[in-house]
Amino acid sequence: MFVSNKSEKQSDKEWSFENKHVCGFIREWNMYASRIGNNWLFLLKQSIHLTYKDNNSIFYHLNEFQGCFDQLSDMGMKFEEVLGLWLLNTSPESWEIFGVSLINVAPKGGVTMEYVKSGIVIEEM
Q: CA 72 from chain center: how many Å?
A: 2
User: What band does 26 get if pLDDT is binned at 50, 70 and 90?
Assistant: low
Residue 1, pLDDT > 50, answer no
**Tell me: the pLDDT tens digits for 41-61?**
677 778 888 888 888 888 888
Rounded CA-CA distance 100/17 in Å is: 63
Which has the higher per-residue pLDDT, 27 or 107?
107
In the chain, where are the structural domains located?
A: 12-124
Q: Is 60 exposed, middle or buried (0-12, 13-18, 19+ CB in 10 A)?
A: exposed
User: What band does 77 get if pLDDT is binned at 50, 70 and 90?
Assistant: low
